[in-house]
Amino acid sequence: MERRTKVPGFQRWVVKIGSALLTNDGKGLDLAAIGEWVDQMARLRGHGIELLLVSSGSVAAGMTRLGWVDRPGSMHELQAAAAVGQMGLVQTYESHFKRHDTLTAQVLLTHDDLSDRRRYLNARSTLTTLLRLGVVPVINENDTVVTDEIRFGDNDTLGALVANLVEADLLVILTDQKGLFTANPSTDPDAVLISESAANNPELPAMAAGGMGRLGRGGMSTKVKAAVLAARSGAHTLIVGGREPDVLPRLLAGEPLGTLLWPEQGRWVARKQWLAGHLQTRGVLHLDAGAVRVLRESGKSLLSVGVTRVEGRFVRGEMVRCVDEQGNDVARGLVNYGADEAARIAGRPSREIESILGYVDEPELVNRDNLVLV
Ligand SMILES: Nc1ncnc2c1ncn2[C@@H]1O[C@H](COP(=O)(O)OP(=O)(O)O)[C@@H](O)[C@H]1O
Ligand SMILES: N[C@@H](CCC(=O)OP(=O)(O)O)C(=O)O
């Protein structure tokens, strides 16, 4: 309970509103509910809270505008619906925030924007500038340009990455359940609400694995993963029922609503957070036991001598997984050599790289600054 007393002191909040809530059970945008959340957010801002909003709902809103009843199967129709619906979404937020003399800004992000270091830093500067100007950023995935394999898909992950990006104190995930339960409450009558836990509590993923609502994308699973991601920049996560009256001001007042997931370790340095936020990897480096120990215990760079096998197609600078002899993930990092070169120097000491390849880019296969343990 002591953790709850911290919430009123949090200054920078990311509020994520999911499809399940926003779309009135699939019947277009729930305009009245959106108006109420905006009123609540305006009250938070009145208390000096800096606020960023991550809002889903573009596909559902687009379907209504286009007169479509069933969710289309084709990617291009979904993307077209998202493009139409995003207009309605931002229009709705803008008109409601205008009642409170508050400006909003549309920010559409993709995974690529956040995995490219320069674009990541640009996005960060723009968002912090908007906050300084007193504008509320309304953020969604740029659904029109992403394909299945490179999309976040659910906005929980996007919310966590935004929390990392702006080093928010709190990520509030508003959803259609009162919080995280010990099992899916829609199917298990014995499920009990969890009030607080460490975000990385190893028991949480199994509890959250019980499927998702009809409209949402990730269910509780992506919310728990989002809390782990958010914790890397020191953010707390609150998963809470968005239909609870006055939910946001009550959270600010320290009321114990929903589930609070707290960060257990200290804040990671910004570059490591950015590395950890990469969702796609291009290949796998299999490590011997000695290399695993060195990475885990001494935080050193990965040398080619500790690699037993290389899998996948990647070029210098791309993200690879590092796994132990049993195939368990140990780390991930940006590799200094392409797949062919890496395979040729695997198992060999760094001093031999030049004679094997005819050149040396770096003495390490993955430098410690470009490596995160998982
Ligand atoms: N342990 C759990 N606690 C609460 N809800 C759960 C749990 N496991 C699965 N769920 C499901 O997750 C749903 C919420 O996720 P989702 O439908 O993706 O909503 P959103 O659009 O808000 O992200 C709930 O309606 C519920 O069916
Ligand atoms: N970007 C998509 C939303 C993705 C989605 O449904 O996310 P979520 O609400 O987290 O399950 C949209 O605006 O329709």
Residue with tokens 């199917």: 187
Q: How far apart are CA 176 and CA 213, in angstroms?
A: 8
Ligand 2, atom 7: nearest CA belongs to which residue?
154
Predicted confidence (pLDDT) per residue in 243-280, tens digit? 999 999 999 999 999 999 999 877 777 778 788 877 78
Mark whether 145 and 51 lie in a shared domain: yes
Of 15, 29, 144, 155, best ligand 2 pocket probe by most atoms within 8 Å of the beta carbon = 155
The residue segments making up the domain with residue 306 are: 281-373
Residue 16 Cβ contacting ligand 2 at under 6 Å: no
pLDDT at 26: 62
Predicted confidence (pLDDT) per residue in 196-227, tens digit? 999 999 999 999 987 665 555 678 999 999 99
Which two three-digit tokens encode residue 82?
């998202």
Question: Which CATH number goes with the domain that contains 346?
Answer: 2.30.130.10
The ipTM is: 0.96
Which is higher by pLDDT, 50 or 369? 50
Question: Which CATH number goes with the domain that contains 51?
Answer: 3.40.1160.10
Tell me the CA–centroid distance for residue 199 and ligand 2, in Å.
22
Mark whether 19 and 108 lie in a shared domain: yes
Last residue of a domain, one of 273, 302, 321: 273
Determine whether the annotation assigns residue 140 to a binding site: no
Mean pLDDT, all residues of the chain:
91
Domains held by the chain: number: 2
Last residue of a domain, one of 273, 304, 326: 273
Determine whether the annotation assigns residue 148 to a binding site: no
Predicted confidence (pLDDT) per residue in 286-298, tens digit? 999 999 999 998 8
Mark whether 203 and 244 lie in a shared domain: yes
Mark whether 229 and 344 lie in a shared domain: no
Ligand 1, atom 10: nearest CA belongs to which residue?
184
Determine whether the annotation assigns residue 298 to a binding site: no
Predicted confidence (pLDDT) per residue in 42-71, tens digit? 999 999 999 999 999 998 889 889 999 888
Mark whether 98 and 114 lie in a shared domain: yes
Mark whether 114 and 211 lie in a shared domain: yes
Ligand nearest to the CA of 197: 1
Q: From edge to edge, which strands make up the β-sheet containing 170-175?
A: 104-109, 136-141, 50-55, 12-17, 170-175, 236-241, 259-262, 196-198
Residue 281 Cβ contacting ligand 1 at under 6 Å: no
| CA proximity to 51, closest of 172, 232, 151, 140 | 172
Residue 213 Cβ contacting ligand 1 at under 6 Å: yes
Mark whether 251 and 343 lie in a shared domain: no
Which is higher by pLDDT, 252 or 361? 252
Whether residue 101 has pLDDT greater than 90? yes
pLDDT at 75: 86
Tell me the CA–centroid distance for residue 224 and ligand 1, in Å.
11
The pTM of this model reads: 0.85
Share of the chain above pLDDT 70, in %: 96
pLDDT at 217: 64
What DSSP element (H or E) covers 113? helix 111-115
Predicted confidence (pLDDT) per residue in 138-172, tens digit? 999 998 888 766 677 789 999 999 999 999 999 99
Mark whether 336 and 269 lie in a shared domain: no
